[in-house]
Amino acid sequence: MTPRFIIASLAAGACALAVSVSAQEVQPLAERTAQSDLPLEGARAAMHLDHVTLAITVDPENERISGEGRYRIAVSQDLDHLALDLDPRYAISGVAVGGTELEASAWRNPDGLLQIDLPDPVSAGDVVDLSVRYAGQPHVAANPPWDGGFVWSETPDGEPWIATAIQGEGCDTFWPCIDHSAHRIDTIDLLVTVPDGLVAAGNGGLVETTENEDDTTTYHWRARDPSNYGVTLQIGPYEVAQRDYASRFGNVIPLRFWHLPGNEEGAERLLDEMEDQIAFMEATFGPYPFADEKAGIAETPHLGMEHQTINAYGNQFKPEAYGHDWLLQHEFAHEWFANQLTHASINHMWLHEGITTWTQPLYLEWSRGEMLYDAEMWENRQRVWSRVPLVPPEGTLPDYNDRQAQWGDDIYFKGAWIMHSLRYLVGDDVLFPAITRLTYGTNDPQPGEIRPLNRTTEDFRAILEEMSGRDLAWFFDAYFYQAPLPRLESAYDGTDLLLEWQTPSDLPFEMPVEVEIDGERVTLPMTGGRGRLELESTSRHVLLDPANRVLRYDAAVEAYQNRNR
């Protein structure tokens, strides 16, 4: 997802981008539908969606959709009913199991948990065919992509321009699904029917386009291993800029950009940038995960979102002082850190956003040099709040939009700074290979052999400890499971400089500290969280952590944040 700090700066530009928005009054979602990653319990925990065929007809004039989901479901426990998540605002017109239509009394969906009684119980290991037909007006996004849903808009020429942005709200806002990060579908066929003149850009590869007799066109897309919130609708009077990219791994990646008419030059420029970004990401982390399908972008009436193989882009092709489009780079990096490496639950969302945010200064370092890396990291540091733990306790569901807790900022900027500090602690030779293994499950990922993984923060710790040969419990506890940042206290004992780390953790914080004395640098190991350095005089000029490599409490940053709330 796009970082939230850019909301204010986009207020004026958004008006020129999308000249009208939905006529619907925004109604709140049902409590269950509004929250992704509710615990997998009961039938939802025992169901795996081997294949989904999702056929959706989009009616821009009435801002309605009608759909049918056809499912092949493998069950791992004995069940007498099935359960899917679906916004209860939709009217369900029919449900069938094994091709047999059920009576309306066999299903119910009062609160967003669609429960379907089976005609006959099924056993563990069975496969069930299910279809659900539904229709209605989808929830309208109040402030996409942060407060998401459907976006009904118009292009500057008055044509319908439609998008979904549902990361926080989940797939159940527009189709029946299992709305949990740990659940992925093996394959999906997405058939989107729109009025003639519109194009539906979708996930995966285009199978066929069918012109119907009722002045509509159906676009058939097929994708493997999609994340639930990564399944998307991107609809407009699109044209396509396209080329192929020869990867360093020997394969060819189709690049496709669905853009509004008149934006051909900007789309071609961004495809140039995407080629450079692929070169960086593949050299740094590993192969583009979905090269067998495409690397796709769709121009959208909202800012952006990392939909798998069809990222939403709404940054208006604006040039940047550092020479590339930050939004394009951010969302594209999510193909690695969100779509390939997916958090096992929303509690570990920093894995998506923090690592992706860190790729931005890394890319600047790679393309423009060290100064831009440092400048970007300093900008990020000013947005680290650390009021709540970065990884909330299991059983709690954090609120991305809670302005008091600011967890929604910390998953980006604190997450990026933790990666920056890890780089200092374990070194590039450990950290980057560890990220590769975390992302792909192997040290040597190859195109054609890659499948997405669900990961936790503890998975990352285990890999780092194995590859570094260090116990890193103290680091992970202080940064991920405690809210306050570590504080570095200093004092003098005669001419000796005494340093001590203070954290709420029960484990000593043993982060080494670099100290600069009159221009010369030494590193204190801080065993047990303490260190002593002999000085010739207390009048010497001393800098602690002169390269700003360690994420720690900073009174000046806190004062700045308090003044600029």
Q: Which residues lie closer than 8 Å to 398 by C-beta, 6 or more apart?
A: 346, 347, 349, 388, 392, 405, 407
Spans of all domains in the chain: 4-237, 341-481, 487-548
Which pLDDT score, from 0 to 100, does residue 400 have?
86
Which pLDDT score, from 0 to 100, does residue 537 have?
86
Fold identical between 341-481 and 487-548? Answer: no
Average of pLDDT values for 14-43?
75
Homologous superfamily of the 4-237 domain (CATH) = tricorn interacting facor f3 domain (2.60.40.1730)
Q: What is the largest CA-CA distance in the chain?
A: 90
| 474: three-class secondary structure by DSSP | helix
Which pLDDT score, from 0 to 100, does residue 538 have?
79
**H or E element at residue 542:** strand 542-544
| pLDDT of 9 above 50 | no
Question: Which parts of 203-251 are beta strand (E)?
Answer: 205-211, 216-224, 234-236, 239-246
Average of pLDDT values for 313-322?
94
Which residue is listed with tokens 């733990």? 389
| 426: three-class secondary structure by DSSP | helix
| pLDDT of 11 above 90 | no
Q: Which residues lie closer than 8 Å to 280 by C-beta, 6 or more apart?
A: 362, 363, 366, 367
Half-sphere exposure of 305 (CA within 13 A, CB side): 29
Average of pLDDT values for 325-329?
97
| pLDDT of 5 above 90 | no
Which pLDDT score, from 0 to 100, does residue 4 have?
54
Average of pLDDT values for 90-103?
98
341-481 CATH choice from 1.20.1440.130, 3.90.1150.10, 1.10.390.10, 3.30.300.30: 1.10.390.10
**Rounded Cα–Cα distance for residues 93 and 133 (Å):** 6
Average of pLDDT values for 173-177?
98
487-548 CATH choice from 1.20.58, 1.20.1260, 2.60.40, 1.10.3470: 2.60.40
pLDDT in tens, 445-475: 999 999 999 999 999 999 999 999 999 999 9
| pLDDT of 171 above 50 | yes
Q: pLDDT category, 81, cuts 50, 70, 90?
A: very high
| pLDDT of 260 above 50 | yes
Average of pLDDT values for 48-69?
98
Token pair, residue 355, equals 């690592």
pLDDT in tens, 365-400: 999 999 999 999 999 999 999 999 999 998 888 988
| pLDDT of 533 above 70 | yes
- How does the average pLDDT of the chain come out, rounded? 95
**Rounded Cα–Cα distance for residues 202 and 209 (Å):** 12
| pLDDT of 3 above 90 | no
Closest CA to 29 of 135, 110, 93, 112: 112
Q: Which residues lie closer than 8 Å to 562 by C-beta, 6 or more apart?
A: none
Which contacts (CB < 8 Å, 24+ apart) does range 31-35 have?
A: 31/111, 31/112, 32/85, 32/111, 32/112, 32/113, 33/85, 33/86, 33/87, 33/88, 33/112, 33/139, 33/169, 33/170, 33/172, 33/173, 34/169, 35/170, 35/397
Average of pLDDT values for 237-257?
98
Which pLDDT score, from 0 to 100, does residue 327 have?
97
- First-to-last CA distance in the chain? 23
| pLDDT of 8 above 80 | no
Say what percent of the chain tops pLDDT 70: 96
Half-sphere exposure of 432 (CA within 13 A, CB side): 12
pLDDT in tens, 101-132: 999 999 999 999 999 999 999 999 999 999 99
| pLDDT of 6 above 70 | no
